[in-house]
Structure 1
Amino acid sequence: MRVVEIAGGSGSAESLVLAERPDPAAGPGQIRIRVRAAGINRPDILQRLGRYPAPPGASDILGLEVAGEVDQVGAGVMRWSAGDRVCALLGGGGYAEFAVVDARHALPVPGDMDFVQAAALPETVCTVFANVFESGALKAGETLLIHGATSGIGVTAIQMAKAVGARVIATSRGAAKAEAARRLGADLSLDAAADDMEAAIRAFGGADVVLDMVGADYAALNQAALNPFGRWVVIATQSGAVAQVDLARLMMKRITLTGSTLRARPADEKARLIAALEAAAWPRVAAGAVRPPVEASFPLEQASAAHLRLEAGGHVGKIVLTV
């Protein structure tokens, strides 16, 4: 099969090269997917740079989410059959013509959805569900503050929060991105480069949950913005991982500060998360309420160009490889 490898083990986007490897085989409890599209995510860039190695047992090939058809079913798998249209959460291996995955980590592609759209879902929807709705316990009528709101995770979080009846405050950099977040459903969309975000958020009524992909630079803002009993969920640290936290303020407001990663979770925990998501959130995906925009798609052999597009930072939504 054709795959994308990192020449030299790590490097710039130009280090991504096409190569050939043996076709993988589905083992017990696994399915093999004929990949039609693969989502690109920031962890792929970090892995390419040598900063985010694949967890033990995962493929060294980039790619955390795919969509395609089941073409091989391992022993003991009852749910899936050859020809089923699925999307799946991977620990790695998505930038390839075939991917093997734990059968419990796959979801059905809704009938009216194409593979490019479907490949944009698993990593982002699982991340939002785990962090906003499980760790953050967001409920109807509450307010979610999203930093990095036009990223793949950000646009998905806007849609998922609005679908359950929550209000959304979005922050992004630049007027164009702020307008894009507003069009996607944000009730208040702020330009981080121009607006007084703390004042605007407080005037809006504050936030009950913060989905933080920025880290250190926004730590003070988050502490000021959160209402009593607020939940601050950190999933990325693009501005740095070491932040100053006023513990007295957390105590007085009864704020919960938590964080998580998804990729390294045990297979059983991922299976639990997928099952919970399928029951609670997937009906909204099937109904069209959650369809994160795909900014661009690139063929597999142009993985370098796709990474450069993501790194440039001007995108709104997801970037996808087609196979």
Structure 2
Amino acid sequence: MKAVVENEHGGPEALRITEEPTPEVGPDDVLIEVSGAGLNRADTVQRKGKYPPPEGASNVYGLEVSGTVVQLGEEAARTSFLKEGHKVVALLAGGGYATQVVVNQAQVLPAPAGIDLVDAAALPEVGATVWSNLFGPGGLKPNGPEQKDGEQSVLVHGGTGGIGAHAVQLCRALGYHVFTTVGSQAKADWVRDLASRQEEANAQKTKPRRLGNLEIINYREQNFADIIEKETDGEGVRAILDVVGGKYLEDNVASLGLNGLLTVIAVQGGPSGELNLATLMSKRATVRGTTLRGRTSERKGEILRDMAGTVWRMIADGLIDPAVERRFALDDVQAAHEYFDSGEQLGKTVLVMN
């Protein structure tokens, strides 16, 4: 099979297409003929030598795929809903930049209805990341704010990234007031267009949802903490999903409301920052950092199943767009990473296998 393997680190030129043997299918595994593989920030950090695969994971790049089931292990065939020929998506610890991949059955979901199978590769990683970090204990309510809660707000940093675009759409569809940060007017326009398409799809439903408000903050021109303090009358937001890290720590905590939750999932702005513990204590707020890649197959499977019950339905209804802006052939993987590194990347980027 063709694959992009972890041999050396550096810029996009370090990526090479190689021929690798088809991975061995274990008892609980599924072999997938890959249609598309999503690119993620983690891939570029791995390429630079700063994010090695977990122990035992494939040395092939790629954390999410879509494709067709071609073989099941003995236990998977006995216990799984999956059958040969099923169209699926999968969340991986590695192995996605390849024409075939083997993954534990727990990490596989049916591809969502209503979208192209290649574009579906853009969903498992962002969907699981957003769901596991914003919803559940300590975070937002998966069914949206209850009437007694009043209007609740959430801050999503990086609204034009794959994770950010997904989080903005999902939170709005559930009725949360969304603040999101972007770095230019062009990027603000892109998020606004994505929101407009969501509103159009919602208006066509027999029973439209009450979509949450959206406020886009250009962080190069405005301080997001000041905007949030003003627009929430000083109450702050219920939750923050942050990919910046240390640079935003102080302003993030200032933006939290009482019992608020700040979740840091990346440190693009550095790993260290100042934290006023008195402010944190007075708000009874929580700051946590998480990663998804190293979790067990069982836990990843739980997250996927919880997430899909809500998100897959919204995708079918047109309320969540995979936001795939660029497709590249696998042979053009270097160009795909150059685009991702450029700072001009919008939404999701997908590698096409055939």
Question: Normalising TM by the smaller chain, what interval?
Answer: over 0.9
| Structure-1 residue corresponding to 2:260 | 230
> CA separation in 1, counterparts of 2:35 and 2:274?
44
Q: Is the Cα–Cα contact under 8 Å of residues 247 and 272 in structure 2 kept in the other structure?
A: no
Q: Does 1:177 align with 2:177?
A: no
Query: For each residue in 1:297-321, what CA deviation from the matched residue of structure 2 results, as whole angstroms up to 9, or x when unmatched?
Result: 1000110000010111112200110
Alpha-carbon distance in 2 for matches of 1:137, 1:27: 36
> CA-to-partner distance for each residue in 1:184-228, whole Å, 9 max, x for gaps?
336110101112322211111031111110011111211221111
Would you say the 8 A contact 1:179–1:189 is kept in 2?
Answer: no
- AA aligned to 1:219 is L
- Choose the corresponding residue for 2:225, options 185, 198, 202: 198
RMSD between aligned alpha carbons?
A: 1.4
Answering whether residue 238 of structure 2 is matched by residue 239 of structure 1, we say no
**What CA distance in whole angstroms lies between the structure 1 residues aligned with 2:338 and 2:138?**
32
Report if aligned partners of 1:158, 1:184 keep a CA contact under 8 Å in 2. no
Corresponding residue to 2:333 among 267, 291, 303? 303
Pick aligned residue for 1:79 from 46, 64, 81:
81
After TM superposition, the structure 1 = structure 2 runs for residues 101-116 of structure 1, keeping only pairs within 5 Å, are: 101-116=103-118
> Identity over the aligned pairs, expressed in percent?
39
- The one-letter code of the counterpart of 1:49 is K
Kindly indicate whether the alpha-carbon contact (under 8 Å) linking 1:159 and 1:292 is maintained by their aligned counterparts in 2.
no
Report the 3-state secondary structure (helix = DSSP H, G, I; strand = E; otherwise coil) of the residue aligned with 1:76: helix
1:289 corresponds to: 319
1:267 is matched with 297
- The answer for the alignment partner of 1:189 in structure 2 is 216
Q: Structure 2 vs 1, CA of residues 194 and 3 (structure 1 numbering), >3 Å: closer, same or farther?
A: same
Which AA in structure 2 matches 1:155? A
- CA change 1:225–1:111 in 2 (3 A) is closer
- With over 3 angstroms needed to count, the CA separation of the structure-2 counterparts of 1:199 and 1:308, relative to structure 1, is same
Give the corresponding residue for 2:16. 17
Distance (whole Å) between structure 2 residues aligned to residue 44 and residue 226 of structure 1: 30
Partner of 1:122: 124
- Is this contact kept in 2: 1:70–1:81, CA < 8 A? yes
Deviation at 1:135, TM superposition (A): 5.5
- Is residue 250 of structure 2 the alignment partner of residue 248 of structure 1? no
TM-aligned CA distance change 1:74 to 1:3, over 3 Å:
same
Provide the rounded CA distance (Å) in 2 between the counterparts of 1:17 and 1:280. Answer: 38
| Contact 1:136-1:209 at 8 Å conserved across structures | no
